[in-house]
Structure 1
């Protein structure tokens, strides 16, 4: 399967001039203004600091007093597109030494997480009946309740709207908040931005990665073997996300999903084979812009097919992107002038994963992100048709909207304004009749 994707990657077609221009015009529209970034980050940081202070003073659940923050997501990877309206924050929970058991039916992605020995510490409130297994649902529900209490007293600085708690989403590991802005008359106008708060268990560097994850992160041909060794020595995380599907076992309902979001952020920010990539004008590349374009296309496809592509997310695009970076590891292959052809190579690679139905998780290659029930076959077929359509028609979703024509009393001077053609015809008819009557009068006068 990967060989077929690599072959498609190498055989990326030449980009037609009109498509070349369309890709470049679209990527120029995806940047964020510094003022927007600063204003939005200020709102999120104020909420984050207020929440941490609230948790430290919380007497109901002392276990959560010592949480720390890990920022994650596309905003902090500097590949956010269009508007800075979605943020992710991981709240790291203080836990003793952990052990875990892989749920085999989920191919290394989901685990039952437990303490190595019984404890009398505050974490007892989040354990199952065996006194060792950490309940993902208890942690998530308690965090949700605490955040609800926090929002009841928290006020947005300068009265800039208010934060509301969103409905719980099935299988989501996050407590999602929305900042609702106000119109000039004081009524709620709509969502300004959203924030996902994810309670997280951190496994320290001293403990090795699970066996399934030790086979991933194949960056040898891109960043080198030494870089891979250093990355695999870092910590990893568990987030309270249960598997997709129905009729889950009790262990699956309380399971945790493995996460390497901090390493993903490091890979995207320090993406060059040479350690100086994008540090100066002479070392720029187009890797991040290709990812931003792919994220934009995924967003547009989800907007066009909201029900069919509900399971599609930017993480599928990011995974295809990371696999592509490993196949195209040399910095010389990502010159800024080659942006259109590199993006089309990335798009063809994604289409190859879709057509084969195989998208291996970048860190856990035994897990296929395009496998059912997590990604239904109907959704995969729809995505394949949509990608083929976009490539065949020259990426119509990338086309910029045409500017509105300027206002004018008469847009086309050569033609009469709408509704005046009939008036002109009637006027000409009366003028002709008047001229004829005048001529007859002259003739009659002459005869006399």
Structure 2
């Protein structure tokens, strides 16, 4: 693959790379049986939590809470397994004064009531002033969730919910579902308190956002601007924050993001049937998989990188390539490479405007240091020039009551020695003697790449067996030519 022009048409995609991308796209689709099982557990948790909050006597402000499902699962772009869920706990709020935070204007605000309230929100005013305390609402919600979990039983499963250690930079209370005797959690839920602002206009910084005129149309843009918005109790990153910054809120457009992704076509018939399917959401899934793979390979170097930056790039590309004919399912690989090109372009320029608040740069330091941008640019270039090796299939994750995978077949020391000898003898020269090279055989190249990347013994054994089958096939073809 050569360099790609941002938002333009990429160079022709080789048949081998096209097959690779399409296979990865199929592998990322969630299984219906897994989604049904996970939804049952999450819905039971949601209903139980709402009932608990409605009847709680300690924190009356939370009695009026309602739930807004958000995140990739409910946007229908979740990848690999339905094991992560986002749940916004919507709380009512009177009319507010919204003041941009000097340290991070546009997305972080201090919130204060326009006048003294008679409702239960008065319990969360800072020092009896009109300013609303983000820290106190976050702490009280965590306390309520912990009390709910202590008495809640997961229906029909030998499992229990556990509350994770608090993260000072996260607005969420994270819970994990653990089966008895399991070594890892089956799924997790992030419960985030959010103040709903529905009767006021957007802050000035957000009025120029949602550039969807040439894609969804001006009518839909007006709907997005009037749909309301939310504030979640999240403060900026940093060690020397002011007292006001520690009580700040981050603006959220989760409901608008979900609406855009679920109704993504510039025609209402987009994706209503097989003949009208587009590849937009599939491209986003592939980009999420690439970001996930980069973070798994470089967890420290790319710590600030997250899927939200990928989603923002996706929105920007869609706003510039709005017509459904530019996203046909037959052009999946080309469309994904355009998205990847845009990713590289934003990283190289160090500029990624927030889609709803264009004045805020998601790639700006200190949240995203220049050293991280340089490292990410190099990593993306390596991926592009190497035909995207990180777009590999992840092993299936056992979910809830799914049976554990069978153990790998046992081998004797003599068999392992023989297999090791085969690995040593499988050099490019040996392959060339039977009339094939990694470059001329994509299947063989993939097997060689996978055999180098696997580290555990059982994976090496299975890879070698597959390599032997491939070599036997090549050898038989060579014999026929003789």
Smaller-chain TM-score range? 0.7 to 0.9
Shift of the 73–236 alpha-carbon distance from structure 1 to 2, 3 Å rule, reads same
Question: Which one of 178, 203, 211 corresponds to residue 210 of structure 1?
Answer: 203
Residue 295 (structure 1) shift: 0.4
Question: Which one of 253, 258, 275 corresponds to residue 260 of structure 1?
Answer: 253
Question: Which one of 197, 201, 205 corresponds to residue 191 of structure 2?
Answer: 197
Length-normalised TM-score, structure 1? 0.87
Find the aligned partners of 1:262 and 1:117 in 2 and give their Cα distance: 28
Find the aligned partners of 1:88 and 1:151 in 2 and give their Cα distance: 17
Residue 130 (structure 1) shift: 4.5
State the match for 2:51 in structure 1: 53
Q: Give yes or no for the alignment of 1:166 onto 2:168.
A: no
Question: Which one of 366, 370, 382 corresponds to residue 373 of structure 1?
Answer: 366
Find the aligned partners of 1:296 and 1:234 in 2 and give their Cα distance: 31
Q: Give yes or no for the alignment of 1:86 onto 2:84.
A: yes
Conserved in 1, the CA contact under 8 Å of 2:5 and 2:338? Answer: no
State the match for 2:296 in structure 1: 303
Conserved in 1, the CA contact under 8 Å of 2:9 and 2:334? Answer: no
Conserved in 2, the CA contact under 8 Å of 1:20 and 1:340? Answer: yes
Residue 406 (structure 1) shift: 9.6
Give deviations 1:417-440, integer Å, cap 9, x for gaps.
999xxxxxxxxxxxxxxxxxxxxx
Which residues of 2 match residues 92-241 of structure 1 at below 5 A?
A: 92-182=90-180, 187-204=181-198, 206-241=199-234
Which structure 1 segments of 5+ residues have no match? 420-448
Length-normalised TM-score, structure 2? 0.81
State the match for 1:431 in structure 2: none
Question: Which one of 16, 20, 23 corresponds to residue 18 of structure 1?
Answer: 16
Find the aligned partners of 2:233 and 2:154 in 1 and give their Cα distance: 28
Give deviations 1:32-51, integer Å, cap 9, x for gaps.
11110011011111111111
Q: Give yes or no for the alignment of 1:320 onto 2:313.
A: yes
Find the aligned partners of 1:418 and 1:322 in 2 and give their Cα distance: 49
Find the aligned partners of 1:96 and 1:418 in 2 and give their Cα distance: 70
State the match for 1:288 in structure 2: 281
Per the alignment, in what secondary structure is the counterpart of residue 332 of structure 1? Answer: helix
Give deviations 1:72-120, integer Å, cap 9, x for gaps.
0000000010000100000011222222111133130001111111123
Conserved in 2, the CA contact under 8 Å of 1:6 and 1:327? Answer: no
Residue 275 (structure 1) shift: 1.1
Find the aligned partners of 2:370 and 2:49 in 1 and give their Cα distance: 41
Conserved in 2, the CA contact under 8 Å of 1:95 and 1:202? Answer: yes
State the match for 1:391 in structure 2: 384
Residue 121 (structure 1) shift: 2.5
Residue 407 (structure 1) shift: 9.3
State the match for 1:71 in structure 2: 69
Find the aligned partners of 1:245 and 1:290 in 2 and give their Cα distance: 34
Per the alignment, in what secondary structure is the counterpart of residue 295 of structure 1? Answer: helix
Residue 133 (structure 1) shift: 0.8
Question: Which one of 314, 323, 343 corresponds to residue 330 of structure 1?
Answer: 323
Shift of the 117–6 alpha-carbon distance from structure 1 to 2, 3 Å rule, reads farther
Per the alignment, in what secondary structure is the counterpart of residue 148 of structure 1? Answer: helix
Find the aligned partners of 1:122 and 1:220 in 2 and give their Cα distance: 41
Residue 369 (structure 1) shift: 0.2
Residue 126 (structure 1) shift: 1.1
Residue 29 (structure 1) shift: 0.2
Find the aligned partners of 1:289 and 1:61 in 2 and give their Cα distance: 43
Residue 160 (structure 1) shift: 3.0
Give deviations 1:137-166, integer Å, cap 9, x for gaps.
000001001111111111111233111110
Give deviations 1:19-67, integer Å, cap 9, x for gaps.
1111011001001111100110111111111111111111111111110
Shift of the 338–137 alpha-carbon distance from structure 1 to 2, 3 Å rule, reads same
Find the aligned partners of 2:216 and 2:46 in 1 and give their Cα distance: 34
Which structure 2 segments of 5+ residues have no match? 396-406, 422-482
Per the alignment, in what secondary structure is the counterpart of residue 340 of structure 2? Answer: helix
Does 89-98 or 325-334 show the bigger shift? 89-98
Residue 334 (structure 1) shift: 0.3
Residue 170 (structure 1) shift: 2.5
Q: Give yes or no for the alignment of 1:28 onto 2:26.
A: yes
Find the aligned partners of 1:391 and 1:177 in 2 and give their Cα distance: 37
Find the aligned partners of 1:406 and 1:385 in 2 and give their Cα distance: 40
Shift of the 247–99 alpha-carbon distance from structure 1 to 2, 3 Å rule, reads same
